[in-house]
Structure 1
Amino acid sequence: MTPLNRILALSATLFGLVACATAPAPAPLADTLGRDPQLSTFNRLVVQAGLQDELRAAGPLTVFAPSDEAFKALPPATLDKLSQDKEQLKAVLHLHMLASKLPAAEVKNSSPKSLQGSALALARAGEFVTVEDAVVQRADIGATNGVAHVIDRVLLPAKK
């Protein structure tokens, strides 16, 4: 091997090692979403509701995760009430989840059942995907047990 070929081979190897070191390793939804600074409120509520293990389970799952901005748009009393009622908090978070992996490109106008039990109105027009009245801001965050999409609103169960 010539010195130039040796240098090129070493460079390729080092580049590969650096690329592997900088890309986060595939992880379950709980860990993948936990690394996203725009989802700190969602992640805090997942922990508070005790749903981390569920988001680490085999899946597949789809999570429509409201951004921190979406939670800020809720009336403060609503968020406080949810924080004090673990069962209601679980219900609200389960409303944001499907028991299947649904990438944005596969969304059709449909109403699949959420883990909470309610049907979610899904729609896609070109690149735009909506869930109820929320718009997907960032789609297809991959995880080992499913996929997540960041949405701009918090979905709340219908009042009885």
Structure 2
Amino acid sequence: MLFRTLRQINATLLLLTGLLFSVTIAAHDHGMKKMDIVDTAAQNGSFTTLVAAVKAAGLVETLKGEGPFTVLAPTDDAFAALPEGTIDMLLMPENKDKLIAILTYHVIPAKAMAEDVVKLTTAATVQGQEVMITVNGDGVMVNDATVVATDVVASNGVIHVIDKVLMPQ
């Protein structure tokens, strides 16, 4: 019973964090048409590395497409935690296929809001492999990344913010 209560409190806090994150983004929208996933991430300021990687991989037009998409978006801090030189190596033109594989491993080809995600144990990614989803007393995990904000809605899907870069097998 205590575990269930703590889990509900933690899930509620996670959803509230996502709501506050969404409100911050909405405040920048100034009533204009809702932005797509790429523009939402770019305007936020916490995803400059992710946006640069999406551009280097040639995925901008895809992620600006109709969707719907769910993007598990690592923050700049998540990219900074990678071993030194990893980002520079991935951004080299000769590593474009590897970069595409990593980035598409962060994309689910459906709109999955937080209330849907917590009911799943796995989700298939655009890259082709599945990510593992765990709901526990500490919140929601995708593989070994913690979901730190949820339900950042864009015109073509939703962003869930994670604290680590996911690596496909």
Partner SS for 1:41: helix
CA distance in 1, matches of 2:109, 2:71: 9
- Choose which of 92, 97, 103 in structure 2 pairs with 1:87: 97
Task: Report the counterpart of residue 133 of structure 1 in structure 2.
Answer: 144
In structure 2, relative to structure 1, the CA distance for the partners of 1:20 and 1:111 (3 Å cut) is closer
Task: Report the counterpart of residue 168 of structure 2 in structure 1.
Answer: 157
Q: With CA pairs under 8 Å and 6+ residues apart, which has the higher RCO, 1 or 2? A: 2
Q: Does 1:58 align with 2:66?
A: yes
Structure 2 stretches lacking a partner, 5+ long: 1-26
TM-score by length of 1: 0.81
Task: Report the counterpart of residue 145 of structure 1 in structure 2.
Answer: 156
Task: Report the counterpart of residue 40 of structure 1 in structure 2.
Answer: 48
How far off is 1:101 after superposition? 0.5
Task: Report the counterpart of residue 26 of structure 1 in structure 2.
Answer: 34
Task: Report the counterpart of residue 113 of structure 1 in structure 2.
Answer: 124
Partner SS for 2:40: helix
Aligned residues: CA RMSD: 2.0
1:8-61 C-alpha deviation (Å, 9 max, x unpaired):
xxxxxxxxxxx8973453011111111111111001111111111111111110
Task: Report the counterpart of residue 16 of structure 2 in structure 1.
Answer: none
20-29 or 55-64, larger mean C-alpha shift: 20-29
Matched AA of 1:47: K
Matched AA of 1:122: I
Structure 1 stretches lacking a partner, 5+ long: 1-18
Listed as ranges, the matches of 1:8-19 within 5 Å are none
Task: Report the counterpart of residue 3 of structure 2 in structure 1.
Answer: none
129-138 or 63-72, larger mean C-alpha shift: 129-138
Aligned residues: 140
Higher CA-based Rg: 1
8 Å contact kept, 1:104–1:129: no
Matched AA of 1:75: P
Partner SS for 1:81: helix
8 Å contact kept, 1:60–1:101: yes
How far off is 1:129 after superposition? 1.9
Identity %: 38
1:65-109 C-alpha deviation (Å, 9 max, x unpaired):
100000010012322221121111010000000000011111123
Partner SS for 1:53: helix
